[in-house]
Structure 1
């Protein structure tokens, strides 16, 4: 169960995910057209049918992801407490990732061209065992959250070494 005080992603996250799904669909369609036009006379009918089925399956997955964006958005949240960062995601298969702040080694921000256009960033929280990602949050919130995580990790380490 996701706590009521968990923070939601900005509405622009839906647009980013839609653009990404549409780009995947465009690439799949262009690749399928190119392969069909270049190799249709060279490859057997069975091979071309198999290739088209694979491209259709990838296209169907991209369309399914596009249609599921509102549900994905609803269940994608994060929560920062003094002791830990928790990331909630998924609507069919729910996943909760929690990392104690005293285990945080590094906090990075990522921003590709689509995220730059929508003024969003990803935050990558690095521990010794794993990388955790909070996706598509606004730039100002990302910087504030990054600073809070770094300060909390420093404070947690200072408290751990005071004993």
Structure 2
């Protein structure tokens, strides 16, 4: 089983810091509003501040390491296997002949960190292999596409016999 890029931990942390920053802005806005509106409870700003602290401790420090530790993928000759989950483990095996579409995703932070994600669409579900190095993601996408084409031509040849 292969792992995703170790840079994924840093990316996930940056995303959560941005999320925590939004909650801190909300806490500051409530604190400023309390100066002008006496009817607002004095403890109200503590709710978004506590949310920001929770996000930094749990979602920015603990969960990214665990997500990285427990995410694995493997591309076989005829299927793709993805193992994921921290508390609730999930193992998905998708036959390559079911894959209808392969996309890569790149956000602005991912682009700066030279990362890409791969989305695999079947008729029933969408699978995502997150945060691979750009060249590795492109190569994996190309390899999956070649395996799909190889399996399709193999099935067509067997159907003709």
Same structural fold, with TM-score higher than 0.5 when normalized by the shorter chain: yes
In structure 2, distance between residues paired with 1:49 and 1:129: 47
Unaligned runs of 5+ in 2: none
Taking a change above 3 Å as real, the CA distance of residues 39 and 108 of structure 1, as seen in their structure-2 partners, is: farther
Q: Is 2:24–2:48's contact at 8 Å kept on the other side of the alignment?
A: no
Unaligned runs of 5+ in 1: 1-5
Indicate yes or no: 2:139 matched with 1:144: yes
Q: 4+ residue runs of structure 1 moved beyond 3 angstroms?
A: 38-46, 48-52
Q: Is 2:5–2:133's contact at 8 Å kept on the other side of the alignment?
A: yes
In structure 1, distance between residues paired with 2:83 and 2:133: 18
In structure 2, distance between residues paired with 1:73 and 1:151: 28
Relative to the length of structure 2, the TM-score reads 0.85
Taking a change above 3 Å as real, the CA distance of residues 44 and 132 of structure 1, as seen in their structure-2 partners, is: farther
Relative to the length of structure 1, the TM-score reads 0.84
Residue 66 (structure 1) aligns with: 60
Q: Is 1:21–1:63's contact at 8 Å kept on the other side of the alignment?
A: no
Q: Is 1:122–1:142's contact at 8 Å kept on the other side of the alignment?
A: yes
Larger Rg: 2
Residue 51 of structure 2 is aligned with which of 57, 74, 93? 57
- Secondary structure (helix, strand or coil) at the match of 2:14 reads helix
Aligned length: 157
**Could you tell which deviates more after superposition, 140-149 or 8-17?**
8-17
Taking a change above 3 Å as real, the CA distance of residues 158 and 22 of structure 1, as seen in their structure-2 partners, is: same
Residue 123 (structure 1) aligns with: 118
